[in-house]
């Protein structure tokens, strides 16, 4: 079965509030069997607008990645992040 990936592109606008989100999101990822492959770090925009923070999380399947995103645990994290960042998140299926 192909793996599923959560891809997040983020511009943080309130660092203190965003810092409260990170441990909540990390706990939700772990609770749903996700593995963080990239979080922040060096990036270079090659085409189109780039965001300053990029996150890639691997899950066992597309469905598992969606279940994480829609979970009560991650909802708590999202609520904590509200207003702290401009965020784009997609789920993609691996090959």
In the chain, the percentage of residues whose pLDDT exceeds 70 is 100
Dihedral sign, Cα of residue 68, residue 42, residue 9, residue 46? negative
Average pLDDT of the chain, as a whole number: 97
- pLDDT, one tens digit per residue, over 71-90 is 999 999 999 999 999 999 99
Q: Look up the domain containing 27 and give its range.
A: 4-93
User: Do residues 70 and 26 make contact, with C-beta atoms less than 8 angstroms apart?
Assistant: no
CA–CA gap between residue 33 and residue 73 (Å, rounded)? 13
Task: Give pTM, 2 decimals.
Answer: 0.94
- pLDDT, one tens digit per residue, over 15-55 is 999 999 999 999 999 999 999 999 989 999 999 999 999 99
Assign residue 39 the CATH number of its domain. Answer: 3.30.70.100
Number of separate domains in the chain: 1
Q: Calculate the CA dihedral of residues 64, 65, 68, 74 and round it to 10 degrees.
A: 180
């Amino acid at each position: 079965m192909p793996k599923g990936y959560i891809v997040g592109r983020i511009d943080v606008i309130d660092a203190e509030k965003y810092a409260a989100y990170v441990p909540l999101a990390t706990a939700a990822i772990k609770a749903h069997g996700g593995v963080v492959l990239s979080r922040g770090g060096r990036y270079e925009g090659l085409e189109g607008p780039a965001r300053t923070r990029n996150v890639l999380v691997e899950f066992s399947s597309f469905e598992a990645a969606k279940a994480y995103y829609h979970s009560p645990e991650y909802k708590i994290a999202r609520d904590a992040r509200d207003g702290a960042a401009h965020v784009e998140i997609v789920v993609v299926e691996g090959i």
